[in-house]
């Protein structure tokens, strides 16, 4: 693939001097993945992982890792984009489909109309000559017209299932293991997308073959009638340029509780109390997904999938960690596993030290009283 060849020169010049290992400073934090992910032995080569990631400021990243480790897993949440972040950019040698793009209504006329909208609006989305205000209006038009065509064309949930089954879409290697690792530690994952929530959830069901109680989707959600036909959309439209604007109000119901949405509220799992964030995105605009959360510490991890030569510099400035070459999720798992395993160690060590200090002080007081 040409995109792989494009990377070779960048990797040689950039990663040789700036590669970073998440386990470099804390040997005790090295963990074999066979020890915590369903007994699966996932051996990964350090060299391969290093060749796919870039850290521009290792010292800053280390400080953030230490801060989140000290806070413990109970203060951590993961916020992730979906298309080209959790899913692969390249699938079977071609551009992978998005949650919007994979939909086939079973009505060629309306499929063609939506494709025409894509061909018109998509270049405008990335045009450097159009201002943000005008571009935002164009995106509202695009999403609105597309949603109207889905309703008018008689989209059914059965066609969604079939569309996903036939789609050229796949998750990055390690996504299921990442979700499972986080689920076992009650760390919530908020998938925030400008796509279609119902389709994203169907992709999760079909491609991962299981559900995760800690994963919630905030996206454009459909309303179906009793016959399974789409009749409208719920709430405000989320498009590619307003994900930050609607992050909190769209996520508000989810921030009340974790797990069973019909169950009792569990204060200890409330997302609004989880003030440490790991953010995953494929565009610098995805950094706005955590806006308004009042987080204490955020580690941002960006997946740079194309236009690498032109975009690498801006991604390095924007994200704490940059992944290239359609990288798998192993690097993210390594970071999270280090945070979780080391966090418990540090808290226990701190508690023991505190108790020893208290004991010494108490003994000193008793000795003084005896005198």
Average pLDDT over residues 103-125: 92
Q: How far apart are CA 288 and CA 285, in angstroms?
A: 6
If you average pLDDT over every residue of the chain, what do you get? Answer: 79
> What is the percentage of the chain residues whose pLDDT exceeds 90?
57
Catalytic residues: 81, 83
Residue 15 backbone phi and psi in degrees, to 5:
-80, -20
Asked if 73 and 131 sit in the same domain, the reply is no
Q: What confidence tier does 364 reach under pLDDT thresholds 50, 70, 90?
A: low
Instruction: Judge whether residue 351 has pLDDT over 90.
Output: no
Q: Tell me, what's the pLDDT at 273?
A: 83
Asked if 132 and 254 sit in the same domain, the reply is no
Collapsing DSSP states into helix, strand and coil, what is residue 355?
A: helix
Asked if 59 and 124 sit in the same domain, the reply is no
Whether 235 is covered by a domain: the verdict is yes
Tens digit of each residue's pLDDT (9 = 90 or more) over 204-237? 999 999 889 999 998 999 999 999 999 999 988 9
Whether 362 is covered by a domain: the verdict is no
Instruction: Judge whether residue 353 has pLDDT over 60.
Output: no
Q: Tell me, what's the pLDDT at 59?
A: 96
Asked if 179 and 271 sit in the same domain, the reply is yes
Whether 366 is covered by a domain: the verdict is no
CB 256 within 8 A of CB 270: yes
Asked if 174 and 144 sit in the same domain, the reply is no
Q: Please, what sign has the CA dihedral across residues 193, 210, 179, 163?
A: negative
State the total domains in the chain: 2
Q: Tell me, what's the pLDDT at 126?
A: 81
What proportions of the chain, in percent to the nearest 5, are helix, strand and coil?
50, 15, 35
Asked if 81 and 205 sit in the same domain, the reply is yes
CATH number at residue 111: 1.10.150.340
Average pLDDT over residues 42-71: 79
Q: Tell me, what's the pLDDT at 19?
A: 47
Q: Tell me, what's the pLDDT at 107?
A: 87
Instruction: Judge whether residue 123 has pLDDT over 50.
Output: yes
Asked if 309 and 195 sit in the same domain, the reply is yes
Q: How far apart are CA 290 and CA 78, in angstroms?
A: 10
Asked if 274 and 223 sit in the same domain, the reply is yes
Pairing of strands 230-234, 215-224: antiparallel
Instruction: Judge whether residue 16 has pLDDT over 60.
Output: no
Comparison of pLDDT for 272 and 162, the residue scoring more: 162
Extract the tokens encoding 67: 């801060």
Q: Tell me, what's the pLDDT at 243?
A: 81
> What is the percentage of the chain residues whose pLDDT exceeds 70?
71
Instruction: Judge whether residue 21 has pLDDT over 60.
Output: no
Whether 358 is covered by a domain: the verdict is no
Asked if 223 and 308 sit in the same domain, the reply is yes
Average pLDDT over residues 310-324: 93
Q: Tell me, what's the pLDDT at 245?
A: 62
Average pLDDT over residues 329-349: 74
Q: Tell me, what's the pLDDT at 54?
A: 93
Whether 120 is covered by a domain: the verdict is yes
Which of 335, 336, 245 lies closest to 289 in space, CA to CA? Answer: 245
Q: Tell me, what's the pLDDT at 4?
A: 40
Most distant CA pair in the chain: distance in Å? 96
Q: What confidence tier does 360 reach under pLDDT thresholds 50, 70, 90?
A: low
Range of the domain at 229: 2-92+170-350
Asked if 70 and 114 sit in the same domain, the reply is no
Whether 65 is covered by a domain: the verdict is yes
Asked which of 39-43, 290-294, 296-300 is least confident by mean pLDDT, the reply is: 39-43
Q: Tell me, what's the pLDDT at 300?
A: 98
Comparison of pLDDT for 261 and 64, the residue scoring more: 64
Instruction: Judge whether residue 359 has pLDDT over 70.
Output: no
Whether 271 is covered by a domain: the verdict is yes
CATH number at residue 174: 3.40.50.1000
Query: What string of DSSP letters covers 129-169?
Result: TS-HHHHHHHHHHHHHHHHHHHHHTT-BHHHHHHHHHH---
What value does the CA radius of gyration of the chain take, rounded to a whole number of Å?
A: 23
Asked if 203 and 174 sit in the same domain, the reply is yes
Q: How far apart are CA 338 and CA 66, in angstroms?
A: 10
Whether 111 is covered by a domain: the verdict is yes
Asked if 111 and 49 sit in the same domain, the reply is no
CB 191 within 8 A of CB 87: no
Sheet holding 215-224, edge to edge: 53-54, 321-323, 297-303, 276-281, 76-80, 189-196, 215-224, 230-234
């Amino acid at each position: 693939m040409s995109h792989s060849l494009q990377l070779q020169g960048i990797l040689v010049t950039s990663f040789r001097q700036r590669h970073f290992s998440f386990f470099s400073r804390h040997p005790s934090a090295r963990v074999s993945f066979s020890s915590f992910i369903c007994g699966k032995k996932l051996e990964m080569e350090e060299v391969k992982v290093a060749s796919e990631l870039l850290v521009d400021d290792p010292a800053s990243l280390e400080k953030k890792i230490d801060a989140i480790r000290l806070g413990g897993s109970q203060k951590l949440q993961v916020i992730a984009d979906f298309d080209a972040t959790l899913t692969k950019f390249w699938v079977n040698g071609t551009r992978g489909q998005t949650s919007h793009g994979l939909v086939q209504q079973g009505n060629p006329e309306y499929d063609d109309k939506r494709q025409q909208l894509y061909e018109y609006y998509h270049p405008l989305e990335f045009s450097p000559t159009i201002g943000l205000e005008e571009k935002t209006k164009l995106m509202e038009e695009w999403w609105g017209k597309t949603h109207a065509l889905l309703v008018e064309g008689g989209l059914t949930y059965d066609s969604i299932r079939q569309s996903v089954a036939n789609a050229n879409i796949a998750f990055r290697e390690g996504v299921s293991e990442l979700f499972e690792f986080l689920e076992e530690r009650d760390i919530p994952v908020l998938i925030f997308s400008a796509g279609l929530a119902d389709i994203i959830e169907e992709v999760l069901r079909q491609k991962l073959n299981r559900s995760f109680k800690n994963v919630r989707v905030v996206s454009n959600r459909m309303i179906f009638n009793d016959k399974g036909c789409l009749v409208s959309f719920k709430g405000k439209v989320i498009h590619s340029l307003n994900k930050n604007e609607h992050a909190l109000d769209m996520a508000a119901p989810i921030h009340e509780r974790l797990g069973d949405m019909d169950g009792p509220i569990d204060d200890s799992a409330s997302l609004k109390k989880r003030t440490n964030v790991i953010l995953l995105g494929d565009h610098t605009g995805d950094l706005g997904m955590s806006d308004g959360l009042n987080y204490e510490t955020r580690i941002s991890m960006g997946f740079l999938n194309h236009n690498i030569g032109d975009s690498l510099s801006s991604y390095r400035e924007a994200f704490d960690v940059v992944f290239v070459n359609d990288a798998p999720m192993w690097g993210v798992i390594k970071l999270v596993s280090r945070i979780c395993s080391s966090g418990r160690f540090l808290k226990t060590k701190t508690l023991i030290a505190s108790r020893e200090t208290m004991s010494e002080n108490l003994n000193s007081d008793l000795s003084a009283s005896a005198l």
